[in-house]
Amino acid sequence: MPQDSWRIPTSTAATVTASRRSRWVAAVLAACLVTWVTYVPCFLWIFLGAPHIEALRQNQRLSAGLTAITAAVVGVILNLGVTFSIHALWPADQFDWFIAATAVAAFVAMQRFKIGLIPVIASSAGLGLVWKLLL
């Protein structure tokens, strides 16, 4: 389970709790508040700490450590990509040709025809929705 997987259920729990006690306005405000106090500290660490980390790149010994951390993060992202791909392509011990064809088409659209990421994601999601509704 990813480390940050508790954030979305926390926001959902705040929404459900507030909606039971009052109207939807309170539910939306509760979800916004929980999301705010959950994500803002993370972004503060990133935006306020990034200039200091970049200044550390001048130090040769610390730069090697930061390079190792970067390699570890890339490895984790690759591992997640492989894990998600395996679970998407073999959802029930049977290869899903539709997902494979959609992935290949998305890759070709972005690499060969230089179509942007957002249109490719939107068209893939729409195609998947139509496919599931027709089944």
Instruction: Kindly tell me if the per-residue pLDDT of 22 is higher than 70.
Output: no
The per-residue pLDDT for 29 is: 78
Q: Are 4 and 38 in contact (CB under 8 A)?
A: no
128: containing domain: 96-135
State the DSSP string of 42-97: HHHHHHHHHHHHHHHTTSHHHHHHHHHHHHHHHHHHHHHHHHHHHHHH-TTSS--H
- Residue 16: inside a domain: no
Any domain includes 88:
no
pLDDT of residue 8: 58
Q: What is the pLDDT of residue 7?
A: 52
CA nearest to 20, candidates 32, 7, 30: 30
- Total number of domains constituting the chain: 1
Structure tokens at 76: 């984790």
The mean per-residue pLDDT over the stretch 89-105 comes to: 94
70-82: average pLDDT: 93
Q: Is residue 116 part of a domain?
A: yes
Query: Domain for residue 106, yes or no?
Result: yes
pLDDT score at 11: 61
- State pTM to two decimals: 0.56
Could you tell me if residue 21 is inside a domain? Answer: no
Task: Output the pLDDT for position 10.
Answer: 62
Q: What was the pLDDT predicted at 20? A: 62
Q: What is the pLDDT of residues 24-68, one digit of tens each?
A: 777 777 778 887 888 888 888 888 888 887 788 788 888 888 888
Domain contains 114: yes
Is the per-residue pLDDT at 23 higher than 80? Answer: no
Domain-located, residue 32? no
Residue with tokens 């926390």: 10
**107 lies in a domain?**
yes
Predicted pLDDT of residue 15: 63
Average pLDDT rounded to a whole number, residues 63-88 = 91
Q: How many helices (H) and strands (E) does the chain have?
A: 5, 0
